[in-house]
């Protein structure tokens, strides 16, 4: 193979690698649902989550507010919410133990004790228990 042939081969390999990486990146991004409001797995609730104050600093201990409604959109009071999670890409859990600290009017719950020690994709596993039953929802956060 002459020099021209080597250059052509290198170019071809480069283009192939770029296309493969680009496709992987694009598909990977598409799979991640970053919505902060969704129905729980069994459909008992809808949960909307938001940092208590925005903008928030992910590395400083802070609270989020979770708003809980039932199937018909009515606020759910008196529920118990627990939060787990971590970074699936790194294989570790949450560095802190966020807990439900206050119930606010309108089916809103303060969950305090979040601290996201790294940038990247985090998952929150939110479990809800109330008179309506137990259900859960998974949220993805790209921080
Ligand atoms: Cu990590």
Q: What is the pTM of this model?
A: 0.79
* pLDDT number for residue 31: 77
Integer Cα distance of 86 and 138 in angstroms: 11
Integer Cα distance of 31 and 92 in angstroms: 21
DSSP letter assigned to residue 47? E
Would you place residue 30 in the very low, low, confident or very high pLDDT band (cuts 50, 70, 90)? Answer: low
How many whole angstroms from 90 Cα to the centroid of ligand 1? 5
Strand partners, 84: 125
How many whole angstroms from 43 Cα to the centroid of ligand 1? 30
How many whole angstroms from 122 Cα to the centroid of ligand 1? 8
How many whole angstroms from 143 Cα to the centroid of ligand 1? 11
How many whole angstroms from 54 Cα to the centroid of ligand 1? 23
User: Which class would CATH give 37-142?
Assistant: mainly beta
Is pLDDT at 19 greater than 90 in this prediction? no
Mean of the pLDDT values across residues 4-15?
64
Give pLDDT tens digits for 58-110: 999 999 999 999 999 999 999 999 999 999 999 999 999 999 999 999 999 99
């Amino acid at each position: 193979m002459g020099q021209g042939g080597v250059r052509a081969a290198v170019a071809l390999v480069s283009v192939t690698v770029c296309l493969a990486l680009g496709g992987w990146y694009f598909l990977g991004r598409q799979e991640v649902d970053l919505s902060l409001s969704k129905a729980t797995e069994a459909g008992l609730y809808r949960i909307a989550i938001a940092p208590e104050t925005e903008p928030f600093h992910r590395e400083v201990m802070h609270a989020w507010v979770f708003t809980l409604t039932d199937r018909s959109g009515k606020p759910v009071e008196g529920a118990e919410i627990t939060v787990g999670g971590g970074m699936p890409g790194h294989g570790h859990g949450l560095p802190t133990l966020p807990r439900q600290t206050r119930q606010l009017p309108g089916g809103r719950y303060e969950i305090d004790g979040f601290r996201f020690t790294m940038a990247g994709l985090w998952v929150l596993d939110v479990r809800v228990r109330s008179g309506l039953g137990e259900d859960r929802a998974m949220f993805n956060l790209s921080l």
